[in-house]
Structure 1
């Protein structure tokens, strides 16, 4: 493969030579059981092949799956029957992995750039190189940083990852001497986590007791299609629908909205008004759950619209600050007030609020990034989480579980003995991502700068604020496609002196790389543990098995590549990294130290998972008798969660209670303000928030802040995810394109901007017209789709199309960089929800103009 830009014919020839099609060209296909007359058709099929456990990482549910392997070739995917979090099911996204692993456009061997000029219009002129040359080149660049006391200008960029990420992403940059390990997490969902943390101190994805609930409100979420726990939710949806009342709040008629009892097509970004009004109704109509929240000392409801309440008149049980919240916000947040802001009729607000309250405590307020990843979405997430407190469903049967169930694993060995003076000096430098600055608190775990904002890195590099990066190793990501304001990333990557991209497919970010390293497809070609997700009241650890032998010259990104780099650094006089690997990692069964990269991957996996498979470790969950049994079963599940573990003073907040008035947030904001010799009001102003004084510490409505003048950009842009989108990695599969119309309102093999027919009539736009979407940030050209499922005044579009460098299916013309449709991030403004550090990409913060081409 001489260059990245090969013709399709030559690329396919190269693929065949490397063994892509030869791997199974002469093999028999699986028996078509649907047409078999044999009673034991499934047994016939088993005789041909075997089911091998692995993990689908198409979303953050990280479901355990099994791969059917026939004569060394992966042919089929199903859910792992031993998995309790997903009932042994998998969703449609897992099956797309089959086309991904056998994609002829994959990176097949290490390559290096020979054209020193970087830019979208520059041909990288990649040529094949050996792994030895690749590692030697990377090591040389790192040694230059060490010699110049610039180790802080080294960075590791992480996209999706496994439990082995603590090696490459966590400890390797520290040993080299850099604080700059940058994760994709802030462009994923941090604002959603913010709401739960500052009410009940849990930073993570919640679990939901769908099997026992009686009412659910979905805030911008589409859990049977694209949110987390899709196999679990979809598999029990029929039972849920027959038992519970479902309300979906979304400006777009999603699949979940279409199957719900109530659809509330909210004005994007105004969800906070709805949440406040629902809380108002719960209190004024005495629908709060008194056994959880408490009651007035005289037994008479004093929550009357517009009237303040004496705090001494209400006695709380599991909560803190209800009356403060009422006096500051809720007394005036009537459904009539909310209707003007949200666009939802007041009678529907009353109906949903009453139904939600009457279902207490078996009622769920289901938060999602769709409603909180806005410029002011942190307080929206806080209000959504607070509703679970009002109805007593927090940490309760039929409610929301925001509690970390421990999966027993070993910590990674300490690195202190391997940090030299150069590394320690580099670790003292300011991070490049701006997290923790006055205007970007990024308050994870109450720590200023606890979240590492991703999208600010491009600005830091362009403005050299606080400095530019010089050497980057990046894996499982595509930042100049997946971050808002993509043009900034193109410019930043063109300026970056040296970048290594570890990837399955060449993508937009690869176009700017100096070294390209082929890595395994996570579901088929690597041995790795994946733990930490939850569902169905269980947490789990799953095993990715090496299901097939890859026909390509790949290495595991998180273990084998750091090992080989450690060896290359040792040859240049810096042995600390490889010494750490050799000295601190041991096979728990044999005591052997690793001697090569493949052994290191195996030993690191066994060492990390030892408490799971070694029966001598006490744990509350499945019994696994030995390493081989873990590989065979493929999953370990905790015992089912026991409710009310956080009740009675165990919430972990500053007060020990579920906080409506968040003393936890107050302390975090005050510490952040003190760090900058400022007041909390000045922090609010810097973060583009209207709250002042005590309002900063309670859930409240913040008017949507939008980028773009309404006269010039009259529509609000909102985006959604596809049922078929495997973390934005599906677009180069024909199944993704051919079945794209499973997303309501979308079209197969196309990319459409959905516009309400009323708006389309005014503009003279018909179905199939080419239209240009223009914002202050950029423009894209797509097809128009007249669709009643989009709220008037809103342009809705699915994310995932618009690739210009991902492959011959993702692009209309890969060689000439002609994209199929448009990338939403080309037009989305690069703004943040500052309190959580989350990118503000979902909730209508960008105004848009739509013009016929």
Structure 2
């Protein structure tokens, strides 16, 4: 009997599901299967299971979920109907968690490296060890740093996380004595937060009141596939369309959301700023701005005329600041006709959409995603796109763009009292990511160096600037796969003396580890908690362990911390254990933790006490569901919902320098001038260093910047566009057969493979046809994929979905796991490492060109 690899995998899935629901029987092992041999299955009645509350971290939607548990095994996922955010709905990604948890390629116990020469071509020679031996090795390395007064050479990498993150991410490095806690945030969406902060003082993701809107522009965002609250939008879009809501999508590719839109505006990659300027020009020139929010001319007439400046004193603003300066400095000349030649969208469509949007306002919104701003010159695009919400008065308005809010929780206890003299001294050393340097302002919350520049760490390690880290812990991350120009990370991690990786699967980054510490899966095997906003509400979910861990795995945010503290105490450094015992007592009983499981429980009880403890609830000022105590909270599903959002509270009460919505940003002016003064230079010089062209007053307003594109257009004629997958779980579902089998649910993609999409016109010019195997060549690397012609892509561009190209992670993710042969190619292999430096964000979109050749 012949059996293909794919059929074997599909059979394995069926067998796994059968076991989960109570089907038992006799099955021969694969190596005993012969022609003519039959297998049989004896069916038993289905055992009744139980729905248990949990939550999903498969993307940043962070939906409240329920898992169906039968005989201790999770077999089904559904949305938690009690959540007012995702309202019982879920997205396709959540279901893949079942395959992740029971993945036979998971790391099943701690492993140590035996080949200390590091590199892609090197076999690490991992062998199994006990948790005790593993933590002993890690503690020895940390004690060696302390012995040599080099604790600043310890580094903690954080990927995805729960509310308990600051225990391992913040407290552990501080107590050891290091400044180097590096998060993944700037490869996620920091430029997307830049515009809202420097117009309205809000550095965070927004919520959008889609149930009350009349007009929605999805700009560089695909809410039906990625971004925030996918589960909610997948359901809400149907209701919106039935209710007659007009939907517009602005994206170079015909995305999932574009397919449900009334208008698709295929802007040229990187030229979002030109389109936003033209729309703002139309709104003002046509007299369609919000008088209630922005104000009006004192004589009641409209003096915004193309090409002409306006006297500042003739306009009286209400809840905004700088609308006349913005017009005079930038908008007066940014007509739709000007924009058409620049951004590739015809002037008539620009004018029509701008007018319709403004007339529907304030029940209208611009839903901004990273596509418009995670570009080398994307910071001002972020301001420009978000400013459209301000012009029409939809900021903090029903049916508009709202901030949402977070539940008021407790913080992880401050570890300062447990930092000895060495820790206090060395924790003030420079960070490895170069934040706050002249080249990388990273102006989160208005502070020079306030944000992280994740991808820059590889360069810091390679240059040993400001020093070479020696001991690194990473968890829930895979920077060698998820950061652009991956070869830098492979070289950098080869230089690290000792790296401990806390993950579920052996990944590209794990290949360079000295210790593999197998992690619990957040959804089932550990206690987890996060809060998220959506649908004008905020929810907080806490999930208990709904199944016993499948393998010998530990929670990296709590259990591993406890085990490390124990080992450090044995070796004479008791500070961390004293910190845990003193500060993480059960808030109800006062009991100290005695192991990692108790630390996990008490940590979440402490953090969430303002939700479930009536006294703390009133003290913190939360508004929403109420509970009697912790048991009552958990018995009711561990789910808290806020009261509905209250609109207009931010009008003239914004945390900006003027307390108003700033079209001329005094907030950005203060931040840039502060950063320039820090480096004894001018704002103009800072912007030039950050690859911007603006000078003078333009530095403080949303304005058009020609996109900075890596790669000569003659040599690399096609702009590269990255797309998000419905199923990728941020790149972590590649080893799920369901991901591979249903990969074609992403438009233009193929099952069990990897596709690069190109407009048929461009393919014909290159002499390429559908199905060709091609090379993708960029200024920094090469990849391989199957060519797919697709009319849903503007000419001159190619698009590729993120999520394939693993040469590690497991036997399904890789084409040949043993020989490290990737399935397709990783977008980040060909993507240059560049940045939107004002925010620290990595540039993923509209920032480089490629050429396509037949392989």
The 1:49–1:324 alpha-carbon spacing in structure 2 relative to 1, beyond 3 Å, is same
- Assess if the C-alpha contact under 8 Å between 1:24 and 1:73 holds in 2: no
Per-residue deviation, residues 625-665 of structure 1 (Å, max 9, x unmatched):
32223223131111111001101x21110001110000000
CA separation in 2, counterparts of 1:411 and 1:325?
40
How many angstroms apart in 2 are the aligned matches of 1:510 and 1:440? Answer: 28
State which of 843, 847, 854 in structure 2 corresponds to 1:852: 854
Whole-Å separation in 2 of the counterparts to 1:363 and 1:611? 35
The CA distance in 2 between the partners of 1:45 and 1:380, in whole Å, is 59
Provide Cα deviations, 1:535-573, integer angstroms capped at 9, x if missing partner.
011112111221111231111100110111011011111
Q: For 1:118 and 1:601, locate their aligned partners in 2 and report how far apart those are by CA, in whole Å.
A: 34
Counterpart residue number, 1:432: 432
The answer to whether the Cα contact below 8 Å between 1:371 and 1:380 also exists between their aligned partners in 2 is yes
Structure 2 stretches lacking a partner, 5+ long: 25-43
1:686 is aligned, of 689, 697, 714, to: 689
Distance across 1 between alignment mates of 2:15 and 2:559: 26
Q: Aligned partners of 1:477 and 1:23: how far apart in 2?
A: 29
Instruction: Report the counterpart of residue 758 of structure 1 in structure 2.
Output: 761
Matched residue, 2:645: 641
Aligned mate of 1:620, from 615, 620, 623? 623
| Corresponding residue number in structure 1 for 2:457 | 457
Question: Is 1:836 equivalent to 2:830 in the alignment?
Answer: no
Q: CA contact under 8 A between 1:715 and 1:849: conserved in structure 2?
A: yes
Shift of 1:340: 0.7
What are structure 1's unaligned runs of at least 5 residues?
1-7, 31-43
By how many angstroms is 1:275 displaced? 0.4
Q: 1:391 to 1:164 in 2, by over 3 A?
A: same
**Cα separation, 2, equivalents of 1:581 and 1:809:** 40
CA shift at 1:421, angstroms?
Answer: 0.6
1:684 Cα shift? 0.7
- Range with greater deviation from structure 2 (536-545 or 818-827): 536-545
1:181-580 pair list within 5 angstroms: 181-242=181-242, 243-403=244-404, 405-531=405-531, 533-580=532-579
* 1:609 Cα deviation after fit: 1.2
Asked if the contact 1:530–1:544 (Cα under 8 Å) also holds between the matched residues in 2, the reply is no
Aligned to 1:51: 51
Q: Is the 8 A contact 2:20 2:73 kept in 1?
A: no
- The residue number in structure 1 matching 2:149 is 149
Q: Deviations over 1:35-88 (max 9, x none)?
A: xxxxxxxxx999701000011111111000000000100000000111111112
Residue 176 (structure 2) aligns with: 176
Flag the 1:557–1:606 CA change in 2: closer, same or farther, 3 A: same
Deviation at 1:680, TM superposition (A): 0.3
Cα 1:29/1:453, change in 2 over 3 Å: farther
Which of residues 663, 676, 679 in structure 1 aligns to 2:679?
676
Distance in 1 of aligned mates of 2:721 and 2:811 = 28
SS at match of 1:781: strand
Residue in 1 that maps onto 2:101 = 101
**CA displacement at 1:23 relative to structure 2:** 12
Deviation at 1:364, TM superposition (A): 0.5
Preserved contact between residue 24 and residue 72 of structure 1 (Cα < 8 Å) = no
Displacement of 1:605 in angstroms is 1.3
1:767 corresponding residue in structure 2:
770
| Shift of residue 402, structure 1, vs aligned partner | 2.1
SS at match of 1:666: helix
Quote the residue 1:113 is aligned against: 113
Q: How far off is 1:790 after superposition?
A: 1.3
Q: How many residues are paired up?
A: 822
Aligned partners of 2:22 and 2:46 also within 8 Å: no
Structure 1 residue 670: Cα displacement: 0.4
Q: Secondary structure at the match of 1:529?
A: strand
Q: 2:824, 2:598 → 1: CA distance?
A: 44
Once the two structures are superposed, the pairs formed by residues 11-30 of structure 1 within 5 Å of their partners are 25=19, 28=22
Report the secondary structure of 2:170's partner residue: helix
Contact 1:567–1:578 under 8 Å retained in 2: yes
Partner of 1:62: 62
Contact 2:253 2:793 in 1 (8 A): yes
CA distance in 1, matches of 2:561, 2:527: 16
Does the 8 A contact of 1:196 with 1:402 survive in 2? no
Q: Taking structure 1 as reference, are residues 94 and 391 closer, same or farther at Cα in structure 2, changes over 3 Å only? A: same
- Relative distance call for 1:421 and 1:21 in structure 2 (3 A) is farther
Partner of 2:794: 791
Q: Match of 2:595? A: 596
Partner-residue secondary structure (3-state), 2:815: strand
Secondary structure class of the residue paired with 2:573: coil
Q: 2:741 aligns with which of 730, 738, 746?
A: 738
Q: What is the CA deviation profile of residues 344-385 of structure 1, one whole-angstrom value per residue up to 9, with x for unaligned ones? A: 011110111111111111111111111110000000000011
Q: Which shows bigger deviation, 618-627 or 321-330?
A: 618-627
In the alignment, is the contact (CA less than 8 A) between 1:155 and 1:178 conserved in 2? yes
1:807 aligns with 2:801: no
- Whether the aligned pair in 2 keeps the contact of 1:107 and 1:518 (CA below 8 Å) is yes
| C-alpha contact (below 8 Å) 2:20/2:75 kept by paired residues | no
1:574 Cα offset (Å) = 0.6
Q: Kindly indicate whether the alpha-carbon contact (under 8 Å) linking 1:294 and 1:315 is maintained by their aligned counterparts in 2.
A: yes
Distance 2:412 2:519 in 1: 23
Q: 1:310 to 1:561 in 2, by over 3 A?
A: same
Q: Which runs of 4+ in 1 moved over 3 A?
A: 20-27, 44-47
List per-residue Cα deviations over 1:421-445 (Å, max 9, x = no partner).
1001111101110011111110000
Q: Is the 8 A contact 1:714 1:847 kept in 2?
A: yes
- Whether the 8 Å contact between 1:85 and 1:232 is mirrored in structure 2 is yes
Partners of 1:85 and 1:645 lie apart in 2 by 21
- In the TM superposition, residue 589 of structure 1 has moved relative to its aligned partner by 1.6
Q: Distance in 1 between matches of 2:213 and 2:18?
A: 48
Describe the SS at the equivalent of 2:730: coil
- Following superposition, the deviation at residue 470 of structure 1 comes to 0.7
**Partners of 2:102 and 2:838 in 1: CA distance:** 42
Tell me whether 1:747 sits opposite 2:763 in the alignment: no
Cα distance in 1 for residues equivalent to 2:327 and 2:780: 40
TM-score by length of 2: 0.94
Provide the rounded CA distance (Å) in 2 between the counterparts of 1:756 and 1:81: 42
* Cα pair 2:21 2:46 within 8 Å, conserved: no
Q: Secondary structure at the match of 2:555?
A: coil
Is residue 708 of structure 2 the alignment partner of residue 705 of structure 1? Answer: yes
> What is the alpha-carbon distance in structure 1 between the residues aligned to residue 685 and residue 752 of structure 2?
49
Aligned to 2:40: none
TM-score, with normalisation over the residues of structure 1? 0.95
Q: Alpha carbon RMSD of aligned pairs, Å? A: 1.8
Q: 1:515 to 1:804 in 2, by over 3 A?
A: same
Deviation, structure 1 residue 408 = 2.7
